[in-house]
Every structure is written in structure tokens, then in C-alpha cells.
Amino acid sequence: MKSNATLRKDTHLLVIGGARGLGFELARAASEQGVRVTVTGRDAHAAEARAAELGPSARGLGCDLLDAGSLGRLFADLDVVDHLVLTAIERDNNTVADFRADAAARMMLIKTVGYANAVAHALPKLDPDGSVVMFGGLSMWRPSPGSTTMSMANSAILGLVNSLAVEIAPVRVNAITPGSVAGTAAIDNADPVLAEFFEAQRQRTPAKRLPSPDDIVAAVLFLLTCRGVTGENLVVDAGAHLL
């Protein structure tokens, strides 16, 4: 995809969770701008294979946000990181009526302690003029069926962003809150109950459309390149939260 927000050619972008989904689409867009990209996944071989799709300037490495040793090995293998994007997620379909605490705890740890621990390990390598972007989600305001744990975790992202934007300045720290994104696995493979929920979201948007992966990528590139923005949460939901 093309974006008006352009990263410097000498930039190193690290996308944790970038071996699939929106993280991979971001990595692809950055690679097309000539940027050096590292994508990670829990399966190192899968991450390497996805990186190979992006060309010789991309690299794929293993990383498990629940394993401090894994994070240590990842950053020991990297030089300066200009921008860190955290997209890693383990989806959890959970309700209070049938609450699975173990699954909820694992998912919460990934998006809270895991994200914070990744920034802690990255800090010695982060360029002071660089930035961190964390993915949240609209479920913190508009819960979907089974989103109990997701709603909690996405709410926590905003508190983490506020704290880090002050603590690790001048490195900029922002969040992006995508709405339901058309053309992603979460939408395309939704069960009938969730599919009805997503369609209701589409109908609620002023333009009767959901954001696309290209919309999310363009928004992240804006956060990475606009040096006047930090401590912010950019909502990209085609206006669904307004109505």
C-alpha cells in the first residue's frame, strides 16, 4: 500500500507480532518504503518465512512475550531500534458466565505485562528520536460477544501508554485503537453471532463502511512519523464509536 507518511530509509522497524495480520501488513508497507524491518512470531521458522516474503531488508525472529528469556534473546540479537510496534495478541473468547481464568490470565499477560516487558527490553536499543506504538481495540468501549478479557486488556493499554509516554520520553509512545477491520481473519472467519455484531458496527458507521487494513497501516505510519504526537490513542473505526 502507499501512504503519505514516509519513514526514513535508514529506519529499523521492529514489529512484535508482525509475522501475521495487521502487523505483517504494516511490515509490508514499511518494506515497500525501503525500510529495514524485523518481524517476530512465537514460531521463529514461521517468522523467517514471512520475512522472506518482504525481501532482503526484512528479518524474521522468534519472540514469546510471556517468556522473559525469549525477549532477552530477541533484543540481544538486534542493534538500534528506531520504532517498536506491538501487535501481538492471543484472542480469547470469554464471558463472565462461563469464565475460563487460565485463558484470560494468559491473554491479559500478553497485552499488559508482555507489552511493558517488551518496552523494558527494547529501551537500551531505542533511538531517543524513535517511538513505540501499541495496538489496543475498540472492545474497551464497545464490548463484543465473548470479549470480556479483550475489553479488560485493551483498556489497560491506554494506562500503559500514558505512563510510558512520560517515563521514557523523549521516545514517543502512542496507541492505536482499530475498530472492526474489514478483510481480516477476525471478520472473515467470524461465527454467526460475531458476524451479526460486525455488520451492526458497519451499519453504525457514518459512511456505512469498516476500516480496511490499509487504513490501519496508514494510521500507524502517521504515529511513527509525526514527532508532535505522543501519549495519544488514535481511534480508527470509521466513526463507529460516534453513533
Judge contact between 35 and 7, C-beta under 8 A. yes
Tell me the average pLDDT across 91-100: 86
Lowest mean pLDDT among 42-46, 221-225, 236-240: 236-240
Question: For residue range 7-61, what is the model confidence (pLDDT) as tens digits?
Answer: 999 999 999 999 999 999 999 999 999 999 999 999 999 999 999 999 999 999 9
Domain boundaries of the chain, sorted by first residue? 12-183+212-236
Tell me which of 142 and 155 has the higher pLDDT. Answer: 155
Q: What is the mean pLDDT of residues 89-105?
A: 87
DSSP states along the chain: ---S----TT-EEEEETTTSHHHHHHHHHHHHTT-EEEEEESSHHHHHHHHHHH-TTEEEEE--TT-HHHHHHHHHT---EEEEEE-------B-STT--HHHHHHHHHIIIIIHHHHHHHHGGGEEEEEEEEEE--GGGTS--TTBHHHHHHHHHHHHHHHHHHHHTTTSEEEEEEE---TTSHHHHT--HHHHHHHHHHHHHSTTS-PPPHHHHHHHHHHHHH-TT--S-EEEESTTGGG-
pLDDT at 3 over 80: no
Architecture category of domain 12-183+212-236 in CATH: 3-Layer(aba) Sandwich (3.40)
Mean pLDDT of 86-99: 87
Model confidence at 170, pLDDT cuts 50, 70, 90, reads: very high
Cross-strand partners of 12 = 36
Residue 85 vs residue 198, higher pLDDT: 85
The pLDDT score that the predictor gives to residue 236 is: 95
